[in-house]
């Protein structure tokens, strides 16, 4: 049994769950439940037994939680792969059906294209099959997963396009997430003494991949949450790329950045790709993890925008909700759907409405080298646009989330 989306930060007792109840309810059936951020999971004993996980198991870049000499069932980051490799993949027919259903939901929210970060070759094959069968019309910019078996093949192949599907690089993970305390910090977590998180691979892994990709036309897009992870990836990118360039290598999230490192984004033309709803989801507990000083330089979207003069924005679903209006609202108001906090969370890093719209459209397209094809309504580009019931540029801030998508068009064709 597989599921996802629990978050201990939403509970009265803000601690990781254990496998105890799952063992009682499902003694003979494997159960594996991912945390909302995808960087931690709880597995019952049956699942751990199938995977051969014991209290003495170890893995680089991950944590197998043990308390009082016993497994709790909690697996963080790379430790999750120990169980996940035993989970059977769904059939192609079902996958294509899911693509079709998700596409309908995307169109209903006004999304006409998306970036799918870290896919397998099998997933790419399924996407292309769905497209060839007429069941997938969305534009998809895909990044391949960090798989050594893919490197030489895709570097030789280079940037690849099949109608609405483009593969433009690799998605890499440098650390985990703040909510599961896997983000790699330069100093201890404020709420966990002697714990700084960890990198998911040795530094040499990221250096070697960066050097491999340097002479290709593929982008390197690396997940980095903690200030230590961001510094590490910024330094590696800088060493490989040198000064100003137009490679558009990205750091995904760039959530916690040391105050002395912001200028490296501009110095080396590194693109921070951010998701504004992370700020308004994490604001309830981020200070507990980081303390006031580090929090000041976290989710700093206006500061990041200044580095290169543009900033791509996304939703990061399924970690956050799919609705891009929440992305827009979080970016400009720095509030969540409860309209909290009243004065906005670190409002000095809010974006203007124009910046937010650009971040979700033309700057997002630019982050994938697609600004000449999509992202704005201009002659020669795809006619991708939506019709809404109120003007997002002038509607009172408190009513932004009341906006309704009336119609969605892709390539000039009405799809919703």
Backbone φ and ψ for 320, nearest 5 degrees, come out as -110, 180
Q: Mean pLDDT for the chain? A: 96
In percent, how much of the chain has pLDDT > 90? Answer: 94
User: Any residues with CB less than 8 A from the CB of 380 and at least 6 apart, and which?
Assistant: 372
Q: What is the pLDDT of residue 127?
A: 97
Q: What is the pLDDT of residue 369?
A: 98
With a threshold of 0.95, does the pTM exceed it?
A: no
Beta-strand (E) ranges in 186-326?
219-224, 250-253, 271-273
Q: What is the pLDDT of residue 13?
A: 87
Cβ of 137: how many Cβ atoms within 10 Å? 17
Q: What is the pLDDT of residue 36?
A: 87
Low-confidence ranges of the chain (pLDDT < 70): none
Domains of the chain: 2-84 (3.10.310.70), 93-372 (3.20.20.140)
Q: What is the pLDDT of residue 142?
A: 98
SS (H, E, C) 317-335: CCCCCCCHHHHHHHHHHCC
Predicted confidence (pLDDT) per residue in 346-379, tens digit:
999 999 999 999 999 999 999 999 999 999 999 9
Q: What is the pLDDT of residue 154?
A: 98
């Amino acid at each position: 049994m597989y599921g996802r989306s629990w978050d201990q930060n939403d509970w009265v007792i803000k601690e990781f769950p254990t496998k105890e109840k799952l063992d009682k309810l499902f003694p003979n059936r494997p159960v594996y439940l991912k945390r909302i951020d995808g960087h931690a999971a709880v597995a019952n004993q049956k699942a751990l037994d199938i995977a051969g996980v014991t209290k003495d198991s170890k893995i680089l870049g991950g944590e197998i939680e043990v308390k009082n000499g016993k497994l709790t069932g909690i697996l963080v980051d790379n430790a999750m792969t120990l169980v996940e490799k035993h989970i059977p993949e769904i059939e192609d027919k079902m996958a294509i059906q899911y693509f079709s259903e998700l596409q309908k939901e995307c169109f209903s929210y006004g999304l006409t294209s998306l970036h799918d970060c870290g896919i397998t070759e099998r997933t790419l094959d399924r996407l292309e099959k769905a497209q060839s069968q007429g069941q997938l019309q969305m534009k998809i910019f895909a990044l391949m997963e960090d798989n050594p078996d893919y490197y030489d093949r895709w570097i030789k192949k280079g940037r690849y396009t099949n109608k609405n599907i483009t593969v433009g690089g690799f998605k890499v993970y440098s650390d985990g997430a703040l909510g599961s305390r896997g983000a790699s910090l330069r100093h201890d977590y404020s709420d966990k003494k002697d714990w700084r998180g960890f990198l998911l691979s040795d530094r040499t892994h990221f250096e070697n991949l960066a050097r491999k990709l340097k002479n290709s036309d593929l982008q390197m897009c690396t997940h980095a949450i903690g200030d230590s992870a961001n510094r590490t990836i910024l330094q590696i990118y800088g060493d490989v790329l040198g000064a100003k360039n137009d490679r558009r290598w990205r750091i995904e999230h760039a959530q916690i950045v040391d105050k002395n490192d912001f200028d490296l984004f501009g110095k080396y033309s590194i693109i921070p790709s951010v998701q504004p709803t992370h700020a308004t989801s994490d604001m309830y507990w981020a200070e507990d993890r980081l303390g006031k000083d580090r929090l000041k330089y976290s989710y700093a979207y206006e500061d990041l925008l200044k580095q290169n003069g543009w900033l791509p924005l996304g939703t990061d679903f399924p970690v956050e909700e799919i609705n891009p209006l929440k992305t827009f609202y979080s970016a400009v108001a720095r509030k969540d759907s409860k309209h909290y906090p009243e004065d906005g969370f670190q409002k000095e890093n809010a974006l203007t409405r124009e910046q937010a719209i650009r971040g979700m459209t033309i700057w997002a397209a630019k982050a994938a080298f697609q600004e000449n094809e999509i992202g704005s309504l201009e002659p020669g580009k795809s006619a991708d646009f939506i019709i809404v019931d109120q003007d997002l540029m002038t509607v009172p801030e408190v009513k932004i989330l009341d906006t309704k998508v009336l119609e969605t068009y892709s390539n000039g064709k009405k799809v919703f």
